């Protein structure tokens, strides 16, 4: 804004502050918007205080003062007239999610997970409280005066305040003591689900009970009524539970629950203002209930109310005029570059109805018409891709699912292992190393597969591992395992060599034994003139042919050859001699 106009805006803000109609809105980028509900426009914008999302904004009793907290761990005190930061200090080691100002305006409650009570003059912590296991979502004081009136009141000591957290079904009540000894909650209220909206009536008199209205995420409203008078060990249950349902008429006989979005006490502290239905079109109703009944179900026909609203809202409909040259961008698959064909003005529009003889197009033909590569859409069978492997690996490590881990870690391909390790998030590196260490101690076959994963982890995430302060205890088991295996490597190598020699010798001996026996019977026998051979031949002939004596004479080479053939046949068992041979030998 320009100078003169900016000054005018500042004066407007000062005037509107007196009217108490400014709505402060924290944004996700760290700025705060001041919106005038009377004028229906943005008055000013508060910048420069936060670097991250604003979680909570609280007005001080002094209308010009505003407090905000953020994900950047800081609390900022704003001057809304000058639109500048008045003071900024670190509120917690993690994000600050909720704020609450004390009834006298001198103290400030802040909460991330732990709760701190700040002195607004010195900006120092006055008291610490244990808090919740998760981020605190609601903080509010339940009393404005201490219950024990005999003790002098300093503005804060003796007061009670209430806190609720996300994913926590207990609302805790805390007591501010004069000493710093007690940091735990003095009592708690139990509800059925996570509280999303809390409202209460502040107790101003000692005997007056605190009335508490808690809307849970399951759509139920719980009402509590209790006098705060010290420590209570067991969680207190609700005096009354309220639900809203449809009547179940008009064809649908089953009543359906209608979620309650918020509830607040009216000024008389008896009647309630209920907000229920859809978040975009909520229904607001003021009801007076008999809280003596433990369960109350209100029947509301929400469809009729919403239909009346929608009919009234859709009275004016404007149809935009589109030129033929206009290019229309439609949502679809990335890379889908098919041009949208606008119908010509002279041609009639093609109807979607099929003729009786036509057949319906298949999905593949429709995809082809859309110019989409079908092969890319279909995922091949077998192992999933590396991005899904990385997701599977993280899921298996978080859930400790052996089946998922076996499927991923038994991968043999080096490039898949490298890509999976490269795509996995940083926080899963240490759990993966622990899982690999556990598997290395098992079967040697699995150990050979785990070494590939270890190599990829140390190669790709060495820079991250070197930044860990407790790296040595984290990897101590793996280091000892590798040392023990390296020490036994030499002995195992010698044993492997000896076993290899033994195995090769056994295999060679078995190969020799497996050779088939050779028939030692002679195929051909040549007889010399020595007497020993003649005697042995005569004995063999005598055994075969009933003690017939044979005398060898000097004959021609042809006759001796024939005699040799005859003896061979006799040795081989051929006792049936031809008549010609018998006569010649005789």
pLDDT confidence bin for 347, thresholds 50/70/90? very low
The residue ranking higher by pLDDT, 388 or 150, is 388
pLDDT confidence bin for 356, thresholds 50/70/90? low
pLDDT confidence of residue 237: 92
Residues 394 and 289 reside in one and the same domain:
no
The residue ranking higher by pLDDT, 233 or 543, is 233
Residues 290 and 407 reside in one and the same domain:
no
pLDDT confidence of residue 386: 52
Q: How confident is the model over 488-540, as pLDDT tens digits?
A: 888 889 999 999 999 999 999 888 877 676 777 777 888 887 555 555 555 55
> If you average pLDDT over each of 331-345, 375-389, 421-435, 569-583, which comes out highest?
421-435
How is residue 465 written in tokens?
């591992």
Rounded Cα distance between 10 and 6, Å, is 6
Q: How confident is the model over 365-421, as pLDDT tens digits?
A: 776 666 544 444 444 444 555 557 888 888 888 888 888 888 888 888 888 999 999
Q: What is the CATH number of the domain that holds 279?
A: 2.130.10.10
pLDDT confidence of residue 85: 93
Final residue before a domain boundary, out of 299, 324, 359: 299
Residues 294 and 407 reside in one and the same domain:
no
> CA angle 551-556-561, nearest 5°?
75
- Structural domain count of the chain: 2
The residue ranking higher by pLDDT, 562 or 166, is 166
Rounded Cα distance between 124 and 11, Å, is 33
> CA angle 385-390-395, nearest 5°?
125
Final residue before a domain boundary, out of 299, 316, 340: 299
Rounded Cα distance between 199 and 141, Å, is 11
Residue 346 has pLDDT above 50, yes or no: no
User: Percent of the chain scored above 90 by pLDDT?
Assistant: 28
Per-residue pLDDT, averaged over 121-132, amounts to 90
Residues 129 and 270 reside in one and the same domain:
yes
Final residue before a domain boundary, out of 495, 528, 559: 495
Residues 289 and 430 reside in one and the same domain:
no
Residues 294 and 393 reside in one and the same domain:
no
Does residue 270 form part of some domain? yes
pLDDT confidence bin for 139, thresholds 50/70/90? very high
pLDDT confidence of residue 548: 47
How is residue 552 written in tokens?
């060898």
Residue 310 has pLDDT above 50, yes or no: no
Residues 6+ apart with CB under 8 A from 496: none
Q: How confident is the model over 196-211, as pLDDT tens digits?
A: 999 999 877 777 889 9
Does residue 268 form part of some domain? yes
> CA angle 162-166-168, nearest 5°?
75
Residues 112 and 211 reside in one and the same domain:
yes
Residues 113 and 249 reside in one and the same domain:
yes
Domain region containing 397 = 389-495
Does residue 176 form part of some domain? yes
Does residue 17 form part of some domain? no
Does residue 569 form part of some domain? no
Question: For residue 459, what is the enclosing H or E element?
Answer: helix 444-460
| DSSP helix, strand, coil percent of the chain (3-state; round to 5) | 30, 25, 45
Does residue 32 form part of some domain? no
pLDDT confidence bin for 25, thresholds 50/70/90? very high
Q: How confident is the model over 69-110, as pLDDT tens digits?
A: 999 999 999 998 889 999 999 999 999 999 999 988 899 999
Of 450, 346, 342, 456, which Cα lies nearest the Cα of 406? 450
Does residue 188 form part of some domain? yes
What is the value of pTM for the model shown?
0.51
- Asked whether 143 and 137 are in contact (CB, 8 A), the reply is no
Residues 293 and 397 reside in one and the same domain:
no
Residues 206 and 102 reside in one and the same domain:
yes
Q: How confident is the model over 321-335, as pLDDT tens digits?
A: 666 677 666 665 555
Rounded Cα distance between 67 and 85, Å, is 10
How is residue 204 written in tokens?
């101003």
Does residue 312 form part of some domain? no
Phi, psi of 376 (to 5 degrees): -75, -30
DSSP assignment letter at 456: H
How is residue 279 written in tokens?
């978040």
Residues 272 and 148 reside in one and the same domain:
yes
**Full DSSP string of 169-220:** -EEEEEE--SSSS--S-SEEEE-SS-EEEEEEEPB-STTPPEEEEEEETTS-
Per-residue pLDDT, averaged over 222-238, amounts to 89
Residues 294 and 394 reside in one and the same domain:
no
pLDDT confidence of residue 305: 63
pLDDT confidence bin for 340, thresholds 50/70/90? very low
């Amino acid at each position: 804004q320009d100078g003169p106009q900016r000054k005018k805006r500042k004066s407007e803000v000062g005037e509107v502050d007196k009217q108490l109609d400014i709505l402060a809105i924290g944004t996700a980028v760290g700025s705060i918007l001041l919106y005038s509900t009377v004028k229906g426009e943005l008055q000013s914008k508060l910048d420069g205080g936060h670097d991250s999302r604003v979680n909570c904004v609280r007005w001080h009793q002094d209308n010009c003062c505003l407090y905000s907290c953020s994900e950047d761990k800081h609390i900022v005190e704003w001057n809304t007239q000058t639109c500048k930061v008045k003071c900024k200090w670190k509120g917690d080691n993690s994000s600050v999610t909720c704020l609450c100002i004390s009834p006298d305006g001198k103290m400030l409650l802040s909460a991330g997970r732990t709760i701190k009570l700040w002195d607004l003059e010195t900006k120092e912590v006055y008291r610490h409280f244990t808090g919740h296991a998760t981020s605190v979502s609601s903080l509010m004081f339940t009393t404005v005066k201490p219950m024990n009136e005999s003790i002098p009141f300093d503005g804060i000591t003796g007061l009670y305040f209430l806190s609720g957290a996300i994913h926590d079904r207990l609302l805790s009540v805390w007591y501010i003591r004069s000493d710093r000894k007690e940091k735990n909650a003095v009592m708690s209220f139990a509800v059925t689900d996570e509280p999303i909206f809390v409202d209460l009536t502040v107790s101003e008199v000692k005997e007056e009970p605190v009335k508490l209205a808690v809307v849970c995420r399951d759509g139920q409203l719980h009402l509590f009524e209790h006098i705060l008078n010290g420590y209570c060990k067991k969680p207190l249950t609700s005096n009354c539970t309220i639900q809203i349902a449809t009547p179940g008429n008009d064809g649908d006989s089953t009543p359906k629950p209608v979620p309650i979005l918020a509830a607040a006490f009216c000024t008389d502290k008896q009647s309630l203002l209920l907000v229920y239905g859809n978040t975009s079109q909520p229904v607001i109703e003021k009801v007076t209930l008999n809280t003596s009944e433990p369960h109350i179900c209100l029947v509301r026909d929400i469809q009729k109310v919403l239909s009346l609203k929608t009919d009234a809202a859709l009275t004016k409909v404007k149809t935009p005029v589109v030129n033929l040259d206009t290019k229309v961008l439609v949502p679809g698959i990335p890379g889908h570059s098919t041009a949208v064909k606008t119908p010509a003005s002279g041609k009639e529009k093609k109807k979607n109805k099929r003729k009786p003889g036509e057949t319906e197009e298949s999905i593949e033909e429709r995809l082809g018409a859309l110019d989409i590569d079908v092969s890319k859409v279909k995922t091949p069978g077998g192992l999933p891709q590396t991005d899904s492997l990385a997701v599977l690996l993280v899921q298996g490590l978080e859930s400790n699912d052996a089946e998922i881990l076996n499927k991923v870690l038994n991968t043999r391909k080096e490039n898949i292992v490298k890509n999976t390790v490269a795509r996995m998030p940083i926080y899963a590196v240490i759990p993966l190393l622990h899982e690999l260490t556990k598997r290395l101690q098992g079967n040697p076959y699995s150990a050979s597969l785990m070494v590939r994963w270890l190599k990829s982890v140390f190669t790709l995430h060495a820079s991250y591992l070197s930044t860990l302060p407790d790296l040595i205890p984290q990897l101590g088991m793996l280091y000892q395992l590798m040392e023990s295996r390296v020490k036994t490597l030499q002995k195992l190598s010698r044993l492997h060599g000896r076993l290899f020699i033994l195995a090769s010798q056994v295999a060679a001996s078995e190969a020799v034994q497996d050779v088939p026996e050779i028939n030692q019977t002679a195929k051909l026998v040549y007889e010399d003139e020595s007497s020993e051979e003649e005697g042995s031949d005569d004995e063999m002939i005598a055994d075969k042919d009933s003690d017939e004596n044979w005398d060898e004479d000097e004959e021609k080479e042809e006759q001796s050859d024939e005699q040799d053939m005859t003896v061979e046949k006799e040795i081989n068992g051929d006792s049936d001699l031809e008549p010609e041979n018998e006569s010649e030998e005789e």
